[in-house]
Structures are given as C-alpha cells and as structure tokens.
C-alpha cells in the first residue's frame, strides 16, 4: 500500500501546479497524488503535458491517480468543463477524459454522483434530497450515463470507480456495479462519507472491500446537536472512524491499494463559505424514509459508536465542534481565518502518523516516498 493525498487537499496545489506539487508530495514524504479529474492535471488534455506529469511521478516513485468527475446528468450544469472538453457533448467529454487518462496509465478513475452544498444545513445540502427530481430518478440517470461509457471503459481497460460520496449509499453503489459490470466499475471508498448516510464505516468497509480500487482516507467528528448530528472533518485518528479495523480489511482485499488522504483544505486553497456546519438529520422522518436500506442492526451499531465517541468528547479528550472550530480558525467572522498552510501541513502529518502506526501494528507494508514499513 502507498499513502498519498488528494490534490484538492494538498496545500498550495493551485499555486504550484501539478509538476511542482509532485515535488511537494515527495518533500512531505507522501507516496502519490490523486487528481479528482484528469482536467486537474491539464484542462485541455494536452498529451505532452500529461506525459510530463506521468514521467515526473514515475521518476519520483509516486503513484498517480485521476478521475472523470461527477456523472449525475442533473448536476452537469454545475460542471461546465465536462461539456466544454467534449465541444458541447458531455459524453464525448467524459470519453476524451477516459482516453487521455488511459494513455498515461491511469486506469482507475474516480467518479461521483453529485455535489455537496456546504452553504446549506441538513439534508438539502445533498442532491439526494433535491425537490425538483427524486433520488431514484437521479440514480437511473447515472446508470444510463455509465452504460453509455462502459464500451469506452472496456476498450481502454479502465474502471470507473464510484465514490462513497455524501449523497449515495454503499448499497446503491453495489447495485450499480451489478448492473454495469465489475469489469469496468469499482468503488472509491471514502472512509467518512458513509457517516452522512447513517452507515457505520466498518460495516461499509466489509461490504465494499472486494470492489475498492481507490480511496479517500478521511476522519470526522460526529455527535448529537440541534437537528440531528454534527459532522466535522478531523485529522485521521482524531475522529470517529475506526481505522485500526478498516485498514486491515482493505489491505487483505487489495494489498497494493493506494490510500489517498482527503483532509481539511487550507483557507488559502479553498475559502470557507459562511455556514460550514454540516448536520446529519438522522431523526427526521423524511431523512429516515430516504434510506430504505439502512437496517436496524447497522443503525444501532452506528448510534452506539456515536455514544462512545461522545464520552471521549465529554471527558475533554476530544474537543467538541465549537472548541475545535475556535482553536483552528479563531475569528468571529470569515474575513480572516487562521487555518492556513502550516495548520494544513500539521493536519496531514498527524494523519500520516496514525496510518503508519496502524500499518506497522498490523504487519501491513506501507510505502511513502521516504518510508517503507515492512511486515515482520
């Protein structure tokens, strides 16, 4: 296994650009870089530029992963670059991205079912609860897009890997794989996103492990608050996710799996919106009705996990939402914000240490660009 990072969360990625960011990844001792879409490598899919990125990653001993993007057609207007790269044809745009990625050896490609709107609190932040189109209609539309792209994926030896994103459940992704075919579709396992769907991270890991081909390694604070449960990204190992159980599950299923950190972005790289607080409306009847696969056993385990985590919060071992927010941002308004480059690097290094320790304790080979922990 190698431990790297998502480019959107790498401090100063936009400032440095892809090539210099690979150097930055190497300097940080990480093992690779995950580009959400190949357009993040080069917005015009210039073959020479993409080859240069591939060559540099290989020279530095780094893994290189990419993606196609959000394939929910009801969200296409929110990502006009996919239509633009196809000259007005979204499917052609996705096709060109798949072909460009395969040409540089990136054959595990991230896809996503929607967009999270952090400016809204509660279920309406998710496309799952849009009021202009049902989630079932969106899932059907996603399936149709995938079926249009499967011949391209097969021709290029590519897997289109659906992220366990904020909107979708692991059960729904597995049903999509059944319909599309596991020869050209897999999963990007985000270790924390399932929490927003009421899914227990360990249960999800066991369900999806055979199909996981890419990852987002992320942790979160989840505790009761007004309206349901607060959700807040935390350094890996300082949240509710049980990585000591999950990492061995993933390693057993795919020993060469790349682990890509998806941590809190610095405010210079991604300015925060006015209402960053996320709420899981787990007690709301509409929210509950929108999760028909959520069974009593897993829900009980989920709520028990939250209860145990809240005891650590109550004891002061883990800061609550407000205390953590104040310690990292420290300003009453959003005109100035303290979570900058240095804080982001600290966040990354803390997360790396936790994953390294788990791998060492479990005899799992974990490689970064500077460190290799070998099984005893």
pLDDT digits (tens, 9 = 90+) for 179-192: 999 999 999 999 99
pLDDT at 337 over 80: no
109 DSSP β-pair partners: 66, 160
Spatial CA neighbour of 214 closest among 66, 40, 98:
66
Question: Which one, of 147, 165, 212, lies nearest residue 186 by Cα?
Answer: 212
**C-alpha pair distances (Å), 139 with each of 75, 136, 154, 337, 373:** 12, 5, 22, 38, 41
Q: Enter the tokens of residue 26.
A: 């190497």
Q: What is the pLDDT of residue 277?
A: 82
Q: What is the rounded CA–CA span in Å between residue 279 and residue 124?
A: 10
Q: What is the rounded distance in angstroms from the CA atom of residue 49 to the CA atom of residue 56? A: 11
- Spell out the residues 6+ positions from residue 376 whose beta carbon is closer than 8 angstroms to its own: 363
Structure tokens that stand for 141 in this block:
């539309």
Give the whole-angstrom CA distance, residue 35 versus residue 110. Answer: 9
Query: Is residue 113 within 8 Å of 140, Cβ to Cβ?
Result: no
Average pLDDT over residues 126-155: 97
pLDDT digits (tens, 9 = 90+) for 69-108: 999 999 999 999 999 999 999 999 999 999 999 999 999 9
Average pLDDT value for the chain: 93
56 neighbors 29 (Cβ within 8 angstroms)? no
């Amino acid at each position: 296994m190698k431990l790297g990072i998502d480019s959107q969360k790498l401090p100063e990625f936009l400032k440095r650009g892809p090539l210099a960011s690979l150097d930055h990844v190497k300097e940080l001792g990480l093992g690779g870089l995950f580009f959400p879409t190949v357009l993040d490598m080069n917005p015009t899919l210039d073959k020479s530029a993409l080859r240069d990125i591939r060559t540099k990653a290989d020279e530095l001993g780094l893994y290189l992963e990419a993606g196609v993007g959000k394939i929910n057609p009801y969200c296409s207007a929110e990502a006009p670059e996919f239509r633009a790269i196809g000259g007005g044809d979204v499917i052609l745009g996705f096709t060109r991205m798949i072909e460009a990625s395969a040409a540089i050896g990136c054959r595990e490609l991230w896809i996503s079912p929607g967009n999270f709107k952090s400016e809204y609190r509660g279920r309406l932040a998710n496309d799952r609860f849009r009021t202009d189109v049902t989630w079932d209609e969106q899932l059907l539309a996603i399936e149709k897009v995938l079926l249009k792209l499967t011949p391209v994926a097969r021709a290029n030896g590519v897997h289109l890997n659906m992220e366990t994103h904020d909107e979708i459940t692991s059960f729904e992704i597995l049903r999509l794989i059944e319909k599309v075919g596991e020869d050209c579709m897999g999963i990007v396992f985000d270790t924390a996103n399932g929490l927003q769907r009421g899914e227990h991270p360990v249960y999800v890991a066991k369900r999806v492990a055979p199909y996981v081909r890419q990852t987002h390694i992320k942790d979160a604070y989840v505790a009761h608050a007004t309206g349901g449960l607060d959700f807040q990204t935390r350094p890996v190992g300082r949240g509710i996710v049980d990585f000591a159980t999950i990492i061995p599950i993933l390693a057993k299923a795919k020993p060469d799996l790349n682990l890509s950190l998806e941590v809190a972005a610095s405010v210079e790289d991604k300015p925060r919106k006015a209402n960053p607080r996320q709420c899981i409306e787990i007690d709301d009847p509409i929210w509950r009705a929108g999760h028909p696969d959520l069974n009593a056993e897993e829900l009980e385990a989920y709520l028990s996990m939250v209860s145990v985590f809240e005891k650590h919060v109550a004891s002061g071992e883990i800061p609550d939402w407000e205390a953590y927010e104040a310690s990292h941002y420290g300003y009453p308004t959003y005109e100035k914000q303290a979570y900058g480059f240095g804080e982001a690097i600290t966040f990354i290094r803390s997360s790396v240490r936790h994953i390294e320790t788990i791998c060492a304790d479990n005899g799992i080979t974990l490689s970064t660009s500077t460190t290799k922990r070998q099984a005893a």
